[in-house]
Structure 1
Amino acid sequence: MRNNNVPIAVEGLPFVAGAALISAIFIIIGWKVVAAFFIVVTLFIIFFFRNPKRVTPANEKAVVSPADGVVIYLGPAREPHLDQDMMKISIFMSVFNVHINRVPISARVVDQFYRPGKFLDVRHESATFENEQKGLVLETANGIRLVVVQVAGLIARRIVCYPTIGTMLRRGERYGLIRFGSRLDVYLPLDTELQVKMGDQTVAGETILGVTA
C-alpha cells in the first residue's frame, strides 16, 4: 500500500513543489511579502499532508478509527449500499487533521462503490446521500461485514482510495486520503460494543471505535 515510511503523503508532493516554486520565484524577483505568504502556504501544505506513524492496538476484534477527527454522529442508521440497519459512526476531519485514512479492521475488500455528487458541508446529514463518496465493503475472516465510506466535503474535491476488490487489508494500514477537509463514515454490526461517544477525538489507526462480537 502507498505512503508507507514516508513523512509526507506522495499525493501532496505536487502541491508542495508547486507552492515552493512560486515562493522561490517571488524571492528571486524581490517581492518579499508575497514570497513570505507562499512560504507559509508551502509549510501548511506540508503540515496537511503529514504522514505520522501509528501504533495499532493488538485486539483483532477491535475496530480502529479510519481517520483523525471528531465523532459528529453515532447511532443506528440504514447503510445505503448493503441496504441494512447498522451502527454508524461519522468522523469529521478539519483541514488541521492528518488526512491519511487507515483500515479499521483486518479484512478482505468484497465490494466497493463510488457515487459522484455535491460538495456540501459534511457536518450536515444530507451529505450522506448527496455528496461525492467512495466506499469499501470489508469482510473479516469470521464473516463480519462492515462498510467504510470516504465522503468529500465543502473544500475536499479529491478522494484517493488504493484498494480494489479482493485486496486483503491489515488493520491500521494506510488505504487512502481525502484532500482538504472531509468525513469518514464507518458502518458496524448492530451488536458491536462501542468504545467512543459523540464529540470524542479520534486518532486514525489507534482509537478503538468498537469491539466486534
Structure 2
Amino acid sequence: MAGELKDNRGRGEAQWRWPSIHPEGRKFGLIGVALALLVLLWLDWEIIGWPLLGLAIFTFAFFRDPERVVPQGSNLIVSPADGLVSLIVQVPPPPELQGDDENGRGLGVEPVTRVSIFMSVFDVHINRAPVAGTVRRVVYIPGRFLNADLDKASEENERQHLLIEKADGQAIGFTQIAGLVARRIIPFVKPGDLVASGQRIGLIRFGSRVDVYLPAGTDSKVLLGQKVIAGETVLAEIGRQSLIEGVSL
C-alpha cells in the first residue's frame, strides 16, 4: 500500500482535509438527495423533504473513508475497526478458522483472547487489515441480525471470517459481524491477495462488530470500554503479555 512515511520526529506532512466518501455509499446518498429535492421542489412537502435531505447527508457521513496513519512493526496488530472495545474474552477460534487447509495453517482449537469492537452508526465502517500478509481465507456465513453488542452475535449473526498469514507464517484471524441494522458485509479482498497492515479490506453497512483473535501468548493492549481507531490503534504486540489497567472517569 503506497503512502507517505511519517514518524514521531516530525517527518512527513499533515493537514486537515474532508474525508472522502466510499463509492459504496455515494449511490445511497445521491438517491437520498434526489428524493429530498423531488419532495421539496416538486411536491413542496417541506415536513418530509428536509428530514430526507438530513438522512442523505447522514448517509454520506456514514460512508466516510478517512485516511489513517498506520503504525509500522512486524509484531504489531492494529485495530481493524473504529468503535468501542465491548468484549475481551478467552474463547476458542470459530470452526471456520481453526483447522489447516490447502491454503495454509489455521488458528487451532485452543482458547485465545478475542477482542470485540462494536461499531455504532456514528463510527467509520470501513474495515482494515490488522497485519500485513497474504489473505488465506474469506468465509461468509449467513445468519441472524441480533444486536452486535451481544456475545452470541459471534455465533448467530451474519458474519464473514478472514485469515491473514504474515510473512513469518503467523496466522491472524478476525470476523466481520452484521448487527441489528446491517444487512450486507462487503469484502474488498479474496484469498491469495497480499495486503498491507491497515489496508482497507471491506465494510459493513449500518452498525456492526469486528472480532479479532489474538495469537496464543499475546495480551490485548487496549482496555474494555476503550475507543479504538481502525488502522491506527495498536490492539496487541504478538508475544507480549502484561496486565494493563485503566480507570473510567
| Shorter-chain TM-score above 0.5 | yes
Distance in structure 2 (CA, Å) of the matches to 1:25 and 1:200: 43
CA distance in 2, matches of 1:139, 1:146: 6
Q: Would you say 1:43 and 2:57 are equivalent positions?
A: yes
Query: What are the superposed Cα offsets for residues 128-151 of structure 1, whole Å, 9 maximum, x if unpaired?
Result: 111110111111011111111100
Native 8 Å contact 1:76 1:190 kept in 2 = no
Partner of 2:74: 60
Distance 1:18 1:65 in 2: 32
Amino acid at match of 1:23: A
Distance 2:158 2:219 in 1: 30
> How far did 1:14 drift?
1.3
In the alignment, which of 144, 160, 178 is matched to residue 152 of structure 1? 178
Query: What amino acid maps onto 2:59 in structure 1?
Result: I
Cα deviation, residue 191, structure 1: 1.3
The whole-number CA distance in structure 1 between the counterparts of 2:172 and 2:112 is: 9
- What is the SS of the residue equivalent to 2:176? strand
TM-superposed deviation, 1:60: 2.6
Unpaired runs of 5+ residues, structure 1, are: none
Shift of 1:54: 0.5
Q: What is the aligned-residue RMSD (CA, Å)?
A: 1.5
Contact 1:153 1:181 in 2 (8 A): yes
CA distance in 1, matches of 2:189, 2:113: 23
The question of whether the paired residues in 2 share the 8 Å contact of 1:73 and 1:89 is answered with yes
- Deviation per CA, 1:81-123, whole angstroms, max 9, x where unpaired? 2152222100000000000101100011112211111000111
- Identical columns (%): 39
Matched, 1:169 2:169: no
Higher relative contact order (CA 8 A, sep 6+): 1
Residue 103 (1) aligns with residue 129 (2): yes
Cα offsets for 1:51-82 (capped at 9, x unmatched): 11100012231100000000011121111221
* Letter of the structure 1 residue corresponding to residue 75 of structure 2: K
- 2:31 corresponds in structure 1 to 18
TM superposition score normalised by structure 2: 0.81
1:191 aligns with 2:205: no
**Code of the aligned partner of 1:58:** Q
Deviation >6 Å, runs of 4+:
none
Stretches of structure 2 lacking an aligned partner (at least 5 in a row): 2-18, 99-107, 240-249
Matched residue SS, 1:35: helix
